[in-house]
Amino acid sequence: MDQPILAVEAVSKRFGGLVALDSVSFEIRPRQVLGLIGPNGAGKSVLINVVTGIYRANSGFIRFAGRDITNLPSHELGRLGIARSYQNIRLFRRMTVLENVLVASKRHLLRPFRSIFAGGRDRDISIARSMLERVNLTDKADYLASSLSYGEARRLEIARALSGEPRLLFLDEPAAGMNERETSELADVIRAARQAVDAIVIIEHDVGFIRDLSDRLLVMESGRTITEGNPLEVLADPRVIEAYLGVDDDEP
């Protein structure tokens, strides 16, 4: 429990002359939900893309459960136990909801070709259905993914991520575009997901949503970290109010 599940040390990322990340450091420990907030252009999604192997860091180190994973490709990180969702929903819309979860299963992830012919399909289906139950989509298992509502599609993405049995889960703006009911349902799903993974990192602009779900908040601006800590204390920090919430806001 003393070892961080993820340690990011002085990570920087440049795109030509643009510095997207400037020596960013943070840790997340087992059983924690870390909320990542900041204004548009702060570098939040770039940071997640670097950690999950979409982009290569120009400098710094990333360690997962004590192992150096700096600049490993995303498919290798998936096999090690890192999963994520995306800002733009990525589903196989002509497949059923159940099939979407099956193709993201851990067995398929570890052995993508062998799993097509290997036995154990009944077990895979049972596990996939348990993932759908976790995100309250059991009754939609045989529906095409294209028929889902926006909120349901978001929850299916989380089920797909969890089906790989990850230790660390990244959620990139999961509540974006949702109404109040959908946001509440999503919050319940994320709370349930805490029991299935070691830790969760959430990027989100809905401050109330992320405040209620997070154990700690990390605030970024212009590729740098401003502060991190207890959500209520962080949201009361004048630097955060000025940079992210607006100096005229009365409440976080």
Question: Which residues, 6 or more positions from 62, have their beta carbon under 8 angstroms from its beta carbon?
Answer: 6, 7, 8, 9, 11, 50, 51, 68, 69, 70
Are the C-beta atoms of 160 and 84 separated by less than 8 Å?
no
For the domain bounded by 1-81+170-252, which CATH number is listed? 3.40.50.300
Taking only the tens place, the pLDDT of each residue in 91-107 is 888 899 999 998 877 55
Q: Which pTM was predicted?
A: 0.87
pLDDT at 2 > cutoff 90: no
Residues 41-62 pLDDT 10s: 899 999 999 999 999 999 999 9
**Where do you find CATH 3.40.50.300 in the chain?**
1-81+170-252
How far is Cα 72 from Cα 217, in angstroms, rounded to an integer?
26
